[in-house]
Amino acid sequence: MIEGLFIALEGVDGAGTTTHTKLLARALKDRGLPVHTTREPSDGPIGMLLRQVLAGRVVVPGVSGARPPSWSTMALLFAADRLDHVEAEIAPNLIDGVTVISDRYDHSSVAYQTLTAGGGMDAMTWIKEINRFARRPDLTIVLDLPPQVAARRRLERTGGREIYDDEQLQEQLARFYREIETHFPDDRVVHVDANRPIEDVAVDVMKQVRILRGEEPG
């Protein structure tokens, strides 16, 4: 049996990773391909804990009041969730020949945790190291969107604030994501301009998957 493809979608908050995970899955299913969609934080036990942290439900009792866990605690939780996610959900599907599309993967860890650590190389090297055994995606699609547009989209949709909902951080993330492939030289990373109508973005996302599958010249 041929293994399924492993595809990750990445971008700033509001870039459309959730929207395009769903649309890509539907497009591939329509072509008769078995597809499994998933997300990070995952729906596993560590992912559920992380979602509570992101929502501010799990905090650290600091001297000046409750606060979110530090970037390094977050980095370890995300890495632990990722390895569990691969072991429990991603790898078994791929082995069954199912294409797996993940709404975020380890590029998010390198981007969010490096920047919340202050952006230093030391932190980034360590974050990459704790993710060293995370299976590589066959393709990572980065949805590029100016932070101001992403902020507007986040405001228009429902859902509460999360701990990374900070204008300055989101600007830094947008800049970081534009050149994220420099941090993953062995990965196949492509960018799609997400500052367009959803249907146009979806067509380009699908085009990148067709190129990966050898259906279109690259």
- Catalog residues that contact Mg ion under the rule CB under 5 A: 18
Helices (H), the chain: 17-30, 45-54, 71-85, 91-95, 106-116, 121-130, 147-156, 167-178, 198-212
Shortest distance, CB of residue 191 to Mg ion, whole angstroms?
18
Among 11, 44, 47, 147, binds ligand ATP (CB under 6 A): 11
Length of the chain: 218
Retrieve residue 9's tokens: 């979608």
What's the rounded Cα separation, in Å, for the pair 218 and 151? 33
Shortest distance, CB of residue 1 to Mg ion, whole angstroms?
31
Shortest distance, CB of residue 2 to ligand ATP, whole angstroms?
30
Q: Within 10 A of 114 (CB to CB), how many other CB atoms are there? A: 25
Shortest distance, CB of residue 114 to ligand ATP, whole angstroms?
17
What's the rounded Cα separation, in Å, for the pair 18 and 1? 29
Among 16, 44, 68, 147, binds ligand ATP (CB under 6 A): 16
41 binds, among Mg ion, ligand ATP, none (CB under 5 to 8 A by kind): none
Choices 13-21, 43-51, 85-93, 174-182; region in contact with ligand ATP by CB under 6 A? 13-21
Shortest distance, CB of residue 182 to ligand ATP, whole angstroms?
22
How many residues bind to ligand ATP according to rule CB under 6 A? 16
Retrieve residue 113's tokens: 């945790």
Task: Establish if 41 lies at the interface with ligand ATP (CB under 6 A).
Answer: no
Shortest distance, CB of residue 20 to ligand ATP, whole angstroms?
7
- Three-state DSSP at 179 gives coil
Binding mask 95-124 for ligand ATP (x = CB under 6 A): ------------------------------
Nearer residue to Mg ion within complex by CB, 3 or 166: 166
What's the rounded Cα separation, in Å, for the pair 200 and 20? 11
Q: Which of residues 153-212 bind ligand ATP (CB under 6 A)?
A: 153, 156-157, 194, 196-198, 201
The residues that bridge with 66 in the sheet, in sequence order, are: 61
What's the rounded Cα separation, in Å, for the pair 131 and 75? 9
Task: Establish if 19 lies at the interface with ligand ATP (CB under 6 A).
Answer: yes
Query: 154 near 165, Cβ under 8 Å?
Result: yes
Query: 44 near 81, Cβ under 8 Å?
Result: yes
- Contact residues toward ligand ATP (CB under 6 A) are 11, 13-19, 153, 156-157, 194, 196-198, 201
